[in-house]
């Protein structure tokens, strides 16, 4: 039986990447040259690994069109690490950080951020059960400017940065247009839709993404940060969390997660070979529309997220009861459709349709939806 993995992350990798890993596992061949060991056993200071990480950075730059005044960092600590690393580096004394809360991840990021300084929640959709992306009220920013007690000479709002999670994995909402007209850099947690669509890097101060959804295995977090933000950090922060320090050492200050970076490098090449981000975006729209159309036409299931804010990556849906939810998940598992249970804090179902998910996986899920519905509606 063919299985399809709808896990929200760590998530499905392209079969071609898994095949390459299998070939390389006993002995890594870099550009056809055997390295005498697997990739997990070679030094990160060796020429082969240094070339690999350089190529991975270049591939990422090509895919996203990253301007030359941005650094690319391969860091550890996951997205949770960045929840702390961002304020540690960017939140100035006497200023605040403005968070847009569209789900559990941005809420956690704001809570973590508040350990390091003042955080204000500029908009939240918690009251709407995170079934939409809250709209940023620009009047709030204007008010902040008026009330700012620090250095107001630049006419700024006393805001060090604005923060948004551009795809909330648990609640299945996605920001389709990033806020603009901001008076401070925008920080974006793009973990769960990274490289599934084009993004205007120049409109952001910093973008980060844990690799384990669309780009590789857990263990590496990609950070894209504008040069002028590198040196904001006070000196007294740990070296491994210091953006400028990591940039100076090209992410090789301490031992990096070599295996995760190697798989990420393979996945970046796979994305390029498939046609890059325009093609990833086309596939994401095709896959998610098929499923949302079926759910919107269903008598049993409902997709609760506001249509214009729906995620192309994480399709969240519900049946009328937890019992039916559980029966549907079991029904799917018997058909090889795995990991469809919703997040533990939300319940319901969630189908994660990342870059590696083929259309045939969505077709198999649609058949299951129809069959199950016929016996339960
Ligand atoms: C959007 C988003 N941000 C942050 C996180 C936390 O990531 P990690 O557990 O790797 O720290 C996740 C995890 O799924 C996520 O989906």
Any atom of ligand 1 within 6 Å of the Cβ of 165: yes
Q: What is the pLDDT of residues 315-371, one digit of tens each?
A: 999 999 999 999 999 999 999 999 999 999 999 999 999 999 999 999 999 999 999
Could you tell me which residues are beta bridge partners of residue 187? Answer: 163, 206
Has this prediction a pTM greater than 0.85?
yes
For 15-26, b/e burial (b = at least 16 CB within 10 A) is eebeebbeebee
Contact 194, 217 (CB under 8 A): no
Cα(145) to centroid of ligand 1, in Å? 32
Q: What is the pLDDT of residue 114?
A: 98
Any atom of ligand 1 within 6 Å of the Cβ of 169: yes
* Marked catalytic residue, from 189, 309, 318, 325: 189
- What residue spans define the domains of the chain? 16-273, 276-376
Q: What is the pLDDT of residues 145-191, one digit of tens each?
A: 766 665 555 556 699 999 999 999 999 999 999 998 899 999 999 99
Average pLDDT for the chain: 95
Cα(245) to centroid of ligand 1, in Å? 24
Could you tell me which residues are beta bridge partners of residue 189? Answer: 165, 208
Can you tell me which atom of ligand 1 is nearest the CA of 167?
A: 1
Distance from C-alpha of 337 to C-alpha of 358, rounded to nearest angstrom: 13
Distance from C-alpha of 363 to C-alpha of 253, rounded to nearest angstrom: 46
* Token duo for residue 196: 């599934």
Q: Which fold has domain 16-273?
A: 3.40.640
| pLDDT over threshold 70, residue 2 | yes
Q: Which residue has the tokens 């980060």?
A: 208
Cα(82) to centroid of ligand 1, in Å? 10
Q: Which fold has domain 276-376?
A: 3.90.1150
């Amino acid at each position: 039986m063919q299985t399809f993995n709808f896990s929200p992350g760590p998530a499905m990798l392209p079969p071609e990447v898994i095949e390459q890993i299998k070939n390389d596992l006993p002995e890594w061949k870099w550009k056809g040259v055997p390295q005498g060991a697997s990739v997990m056993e070679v030094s990160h200071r060796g020429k082969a690994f240094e070339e690999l990480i350089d190529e991975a950075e270049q591939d990422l730059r090509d895919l996203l069109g990253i301007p030359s005044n941005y650094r690319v960092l391969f860091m550890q600590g996951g997205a949770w690490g960045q929840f702390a690393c961002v304020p540690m580096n960017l939140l100035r004394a006497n200023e605040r950080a403005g968070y847009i809360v569209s789900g559990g991840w941005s809420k956690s990021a704001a809570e973590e951020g508040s350990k390091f300084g003042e955080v204000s929640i500029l908009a939240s959709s918690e009251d709407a059960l995170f079934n939409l992306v809250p709209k940023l009220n620009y009047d709030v920013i204007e008010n902040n400017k008026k009330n700012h007690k620090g250095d107001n000479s630049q006419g700024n709002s006393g805001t060090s940065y604005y923060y948004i999670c551009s795809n909330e994995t648990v609640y299945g909402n996605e920001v389709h247009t990033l806020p603009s007209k901001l008076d401070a850099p925008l920080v974006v947690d793009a973990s769960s839709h990274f490289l599934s669509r084009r993004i205007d890097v120049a409109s952001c101060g910093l973008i980060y993404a844990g690799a384990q959804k669309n780009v590789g295995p857990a263990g590496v977090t990609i950070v894209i940060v504008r040069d002028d933000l590198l040196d904001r950090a006070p000196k007294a922060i740990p070296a491994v969390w210091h953006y400028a320090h990591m940039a100076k050492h090209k992410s090789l200050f301490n031992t990096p997660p070599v295996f995760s970076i190697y798989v990420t490098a393979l996945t970046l090449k796979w994305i390029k070979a498939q046609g890059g981000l325009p093609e990833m975006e086309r596939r994401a729209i095709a896959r998610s529309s098929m499923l949302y159309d079926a759910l919107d036409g269903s008598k049993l299931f409902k997709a609760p997220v506001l249509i214009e804010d729906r995620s192309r990556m994480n399709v969240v849906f519900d049946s009328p009861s937890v019992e039916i939810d559980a029966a549907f998940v079991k029904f799917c598992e018997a058909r090889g459709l795995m990991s469809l249970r919703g997040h533990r804090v939300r319940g319901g179902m969630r189908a994660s349709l990342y870059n590696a998910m083929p259309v045939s996986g969505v077709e198999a899920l649609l058949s299951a939806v129809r069959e199950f519905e016929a016996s339960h509606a």
